[in-house]
Amino acid sequence: MSASIGEYALLSDCRTGALVSRHGSIDWFCPPRWDAPSVFGALLGTEEHGHWTLRPVDRAATVTRRYDGDTFVLVTRWETATGVAEVHEFMPVWPHRVDIVRRIVGLSGRVPFETALRLRFDYARAIPWVRQLDGAVPELHATAGPDRVTVRGIRLEARDHVHRGTVSIDAGGTHDLTLTWSHSFRDRPEPVDVDAALVATRTGWQDWADHIAHDGPYRAEVIRSLLVLRALSHADTGGIVAAATTSLPEQFGGARNWDYRYVWLRDASLTLQTLVAHGFVEAADHWRLWLLRAIAGDPAQMQIMYGIAGERDLAERELASLPGYKGAAPVRIGNGAVTQFQADVVGEVMVALQLAREAGLAETEYSWPLQLALVRRAEVSLDRPDNGIWEIRGEPRRFTHSRAMLWAAFDRAVTAAESTGLRGPVAHWRRLRDDLAAEIAAQGVASDGHFTQYYGTDEVDASLLILAQVGFCAYDDPRMVATVARIERDLMPDGFVRRYRTSSGVDGLAGAENPFLACSFWLVEQYAHTGRRADAERLMAAAAGAANDLGLLSEEYDPAHERQAGNTPQAFSHLALVRAADALAAAS
């Protein structure tokens, strides 16, 4: 059985990653990219679906863990009846190969370790052909279809499709186990130089973190959150995935299980804004090139999400080979939202690119034509109802947040042209922008003065908090103050903010969900900008406290059972934490 969501640590090489449970089991690993089929899939099933466990033989051993400084080198400390040892594990950040390194380090006494390896390729649909080679360093080679895994460092014995082995470590000693993924039709990669890889990986992460600009409260949380955003960014393509996993449930035992291992234009734009605000302008340049490739051609064909390299075919389907996290079925790969129209997306992209421009990102031959195409796309679709930021699977509507983000798209186009001399129909854009502001004031505000989820309803939605963030209105605008009051009344039954009332039926889905962590951080930001310092600090402490012991946040949080829910780690949650911390710093 998989561990609780909050018990997982992330390893990353900025191309893919692995989730390691508190008890030493790698239960999720999809090489060579985040969205590839799993080799270890126990996260969405049981041990039978693939895992690699490394832990002391002593079942009474106590465990603590941490990241080694501002890196993704995980250090797990085991204290047993016979001694103390640590496991240092990481994924080297280098191109053209995928490795997991697990180094056992003896600290005192003698500690026997055991390992169990179940390789289940292609989402547990393929048990590989396995052979072992004896030599100075034992090797195991497993092959199925295009995939090959090579495990080095320990002699393993096979029984019932599981390979097991033991090794003992004495004080002052080290023992290295490595796993390397490669294509089965190519030569096997050479063994990892573990000492060199460890130094390079530590240095790479720490050097990047040392450039983070943040001197306010929650500094450790901000640094870890920005590191997560870096980890979820693909080093080669520039694509930024929404999360490392698929199908972790928003409602335990329910069917709200989605695949987040793709690049949403919205999530990536918000991630980009956060990185640029903290000094990483080069990330904007890399992502702008990704965006140019992804939406090349007719703007009318623009999707709201793409594959990591800009792929368009992300059709959603269900997997029968994985039973789901603690039985929460179905497990989905692909995402049906790819076919949706979400009117807010162009606005988020335009806001991000304008922020990057103001931070010093230089124009290129294609940068402004790209934005002109985006603005034309927004204008052509101006009167079209959409599925909204939450990817509603019910009836498309004119969501107030979406209309405000269309306002933001034209506003940033006007700002870019007026401030830099870039050419475009500024008067026309200004008129469209002002018409949208008037429309929202007339149709997106309830009789008691609060913004509404969509035109024609009295319901409220947490995404309305973004209106002040993008400058549509002031944080202390009476309409926003009234909206906050309604959010507090309707969307915070347990102190955390929900996205909207699922009982309204607006999303077309059965069941409920837990509070969406980003929404609570948005409300922290709102509080901080309107003088509600005590409320901001109280909610920030609660929302940041939803992180696990390593500072990782999932999509949602179940306060009744004090557990994380949804896909993890989630970019949206981490970028919202950073914004909230920045707002608290500014308020102080």
Final residue in a domain of this structure, among 206, 230, 259: 206
Structural domain of 384: 211-587
Condensed to tens digits (0 to 9), the pLDDT of residues 124-178 reads 999 999 999 887 889 999 999 999 999 999 999 999 889 999 999 999 999 999 9
Same domain, 225 and 174: no
Query: What does the pLDDT average to over 235-247?
Result: 96
Same domain, 244 and 300: yes
Same domain, 22 and 156: yes
Check if the beta carbon of residue 216 is closer than 8 Å to that of residue 179.
Answer: no
Same domain, 287 and 412: yes
The domain that holds 69 is classified in CATH as: 2.70.98.50
Residue 398 CA to residue 186 CA, distance in Å, equals: 52
Condensed to tens digits (0 to 9), the pLDDT of residues 386-429 reads 999 999 988 999 999 999 999 999 999 999 999 999 999 999 99
Largest CA distance in the chain: 78
Residue 154 CA to residue 148 CA, distance in Å, equals: 18
Same domain, 102 and 74: yes
Residue 444 CA to residue 490 CA, distance in Å, equals: 18
Q: What is the mean pLDDT of the chain?
A: 96
Reported pTM: 0.97
Distance from the Cα of residue 302 to its chain's centroid = 22
Same domain, 172 and 285: no
DSSP string, 192-244: P-HHHHHHHHHHHHHHHHTT----SSSHHHHHHHHHHHHHTB-TTT--B-SBS
- How many domains does the structure of the chain reveal? 2
Same domain, 197 and 319: no
Same domain, 237 and 160: no
Residue at token pair 């500094």:
219
Final residue in a domain of this structure, among 206, 240, 260: 206
Final residue in a domain of this structure, among 206, 230, 249: 206
Same domain, 197 and 219: no
Kindly indicate the confidence band of residue 1, based on its pLDDT and cuts at 50, 70 and 90. low
Kindly indicate the confidence band of residue 2, based on its pLDDT and cuts at 50, 70 and 90. confident
